[in-house]
A and B are shown apart, each in its own frame.
Chain A
Amino acid sequence: MKAKDYLYMFLGVIITITILILCFQGISSTSDKIAFASIIVNVVIAVLVVAYFQNRESNSRSLKDYFINQISGIKCDYDKFIQQIKDEKLTPNEIKKKFKDFSIKNQQLEYFLKTELKLNTIYIQEQNRKIHKLITNSYEFNNLYDSIKFALENSTNNELIILHKDFNHHITSLIVEINKT
């Protein structure tokens, strides 16, 4: 909730209480006054409770949207990275550096997903590491390390397709999980 919303809510409560007090002054018996006062208190509590939960829900949705945007960004960048490898646009050194960048981003994201949304079944970094090992452990990567151009062999490329598909599957599953929390 924005500050403006809080202000309107506060003004509404004050006006309601004022009207109720004016009505209260018209009541003569003590028991009627007590009953009337309890109604005022219950109304105020109800308003505050609704405001609290509405605010919490709004904050929770914002947080989920933030994480979903972050994950979508990683997916987009990762898809581009894998395509660059397949298109022979990266040297082995560049590939290593990019894997490290992704590794750090993934781990930071996983940390906050675990602590803020209590999600424990997150496999983005695990899947990234499998792809990293496939490529950097390959015969062609190790034997063409000093080359400007680096091309995957067909067998490595086929395995990469499967692992990349699994990576994207985990990303999509994670987004679904976040929406369910």
Chain B
Amino acid sequence: MEKILIRVIDFTEYPGVRYKHQGNNDSGEDFYYEVIKPAFEKALNQEKILSVDLDGTAGYASSFLDESFGNLVYDFPFEEIKTHLEIKSFEEPDWIDVIFKETLKDWKRKKDENQPRKPER
């Protein structure tokens, strides 16, 4: 399958934290709604794989990655996420396992338990 390639560093060199209100437009929430969600929609429509490269930034807070990719579970079928999402990282390859084996599964459990995607402030 063909790929749509995006790099986090093209969004920000300094990824922030989880929510928009906690950062300077570089949060995981910002990244999800501005980049990941539209790109993944496009990948599904065109039967392509969305490939996200994590390298080159100044490092991640786990909350940034959790919010960036976990939200996919609330907007797209879980099986489609597994087959149409690819994460790449040469610098920190263990993030790939964290996202697929922990983040996505935790968010799926949250969704199955009818919890809101974002806790009320």
Which residues of chain A have a CB within 8 Å of any CB of chain B? 92-93, 96-100, 103-104, 107, 125-126, 129, 132-133, 136-137, 141-143, 145-146
- Per the bound structure, the CA–CA distance linking A137 and B28 in Å amounts to 12
Q: Distance (Å) between the CB of B15 and the closest chain A CB? A: 8
A interface footprint on B32-69 (CB within 8 Å = 1, 0 otherwise):
00000000000000000000000000111111001000
**Interface check B94, CB cutoff 8 A:** yes
- Per the bound structure, the CA–CA distance linking A109 and B114 in Å amounts to 43
Residues of chain B contacted by A103 (CB below 8 angstroms)? 91-92, 94
A142-B22, A146-B23, A146-B24 known; A125-B94 Cβ under 8 A? yes
- Interface positions, chain B 81-117, Cβ under 8 Å from A, are 91-94, 98
Residues of chain B contacted by A141 (CB below 8 angstroms)? 17, 61, 63
Which residues of chain B have a CB within 8 Å of any CB of chain A? 14, 16-19, 22-24, 58-63, 66, 91-94, 98
A145-B22, A145-B23 known; A92-B92 Cβ under 8 A? no
Residues of chain B contacted by A92 (CB below 8 angstroms)? 17, 61
B62 and A136 form a contact (CB under 8 A): yes
A129-B98, A145-B23 known; A93-B63 Cβ under 8 A? no
Residues of chain A contacted by B92 (CB below 8 angstroms)? 100, 103-104, 107
B19 and A107 form a contact (CB under 8 A): no
Residues of chain B contacted by A146 (CB below 8 angstroms)? 23-24
- Per the bound structure, the CA–CA distance linking A100 and B62 in Å amounts to 11
A137 and B63 form a contact (CB under 8 A): yes
A145 and B94 form a contact (CB under 8 A): no
Residues of chain A contacted by B94 (CB below 8 angstroms)? 103, 107, 125-126, 129
